[in-house]
Amino acid sequence: MTASQTISVCLVDDQTLVRQGIRSLLELSDDIRVVAEAADGTQALEIVPAVKPDVVLLDMRMPGMSGLDVLNALAARNALPATIILTTFDDDQLVLAGLKAGARGYLLKDVSLDQLVDAVKTVAAGGSLVAPVVTQRLLSGLERMHNDFTSLDRPDPLTERETEILRLMAGGYSNKEIANSLSVAEGTVKNHVSNILSKLGVRDRTRAVLKAFELGIV
């Protein structure tokens, strides 16, 4: 793989050992390169816009400026790369707030090498991480959170097939897996997903699933 295809990653975590551990895992992959590290949120706000990494791995709980603060600040500057939340906590509300602030998904810090590499590649390619276990946690979290979506209007009604696909998306299935499950072409699923995002007024799969739960569609 050429250098231009290498995925650049920035690690943001206040624990040196965590950064070293994640870096050592990522360095086992030929097509991922850690280009920068930040030990706190303030450093992240300086480093991320300057380095412009493809993917940021972001700790949510840091002294001073939290990961959520970093997400909101970078998003406000329109300088938020594809970001994966890293957490050791069973903290649904914080994770949910991070996803709504613009993160593409989250991982526990004891993630395996394969899971970590797959996650980085997925978000670098424009995807989102919505695993079934995450979805269940978010569903319970949504029930406790206030509704602060920008648009409070109900979206255009989804067709029966679109609702079916949205439920599979909520289960963490990829387009290919959905296509196999429904015995249709992957391109057909992509078209349905585009229609779903448009009708819900969201820009990615993560927000589509969150909005669907919030509106009681799935």
Kindly state whether residues 205 and 116 are assigned to the same domain.
Answer: no
The mean per-residue pLDDT over the stretch 108-120 comes to: 85
> Would you say residue 139 lies in a domain?
no
Q: Which of 85, 103, 129 is the last residue of a domain?
A: 129
From 129, 158, 180, the end of a domain falls on: 129
E strand segments, 69-173:
82-87, 105-108
- How far is Cα 123 from Cα 84, in angstroms, rounded to an integer? 8
Give the pLDDT of residue 145. 44
pLDDT cut 90: percent of the chain above it: 35
State how far the Cα of 12 lies from the Cα of 195, in Å rounded to an integer.
35
Write the pLDDT tens digit of every residue in 22-48: 999 898 899 999 999 999 999 999 999
- pLDDT of 154 reads 54
Cα-based distances in Å from 10 to 52, 54, 58: 9, 8, 8
- Which residue among 129, 155, 188 closes a domain? 129
Distance in angstroms (rounded) separating the CA atoms of residues 63 and 142? 26
Is position 169 within any domain? yes
Are 31 and 23 spatial neighbours (Cβ–Cβ below 8 Å)? no
Which residues partner with 43 through β-bridges? Answer: none
* Lowest-confidence pick of 47-51, 64-68, 110-114: 110-114
- The mean pLDDT value for 102-112 works out to 83
Rounded-to-integer distance, Cα 150 and Cα 147, Å: 9
Q: Looking at residue 149, what is its pLDDT?
A: 43
Would you give the DSSP letter of residue 145?
A: S
pLDDT grade, residue 131 (50/70/90)? low
Least confident residue range of 25-29, 42-46, 135-139, 200-204: 135-139
Residue 17's DSSP bridge partners are: none
Is the model's pLDDT at 173 over the cut of 90? no
| Claim to verify: residue 51 and residue 125 sit in the same structural domain | yes
CATH number (domain holding residue 170): 1.10.10.10
Same domain, 45 and 17: yes
By the 10 Å C-beta count (0-12 exposed, 13-18 middle, 19+ buried), 84 is classed as: buried
207 in a structural domain: yes
The domain of 177 spans: 144-215
pLDDT over threshold 50, residue 166: yes
Bridge partners of 87?
Answer: 108
- Mean pLDDT computed over 150-178: 77
Shared domain for 72 and 164, answered yes or no, is: no
What average pLDDT is seen over the chain? 82
> Could you tell me if 39 and 122 lie in one domain?
yes
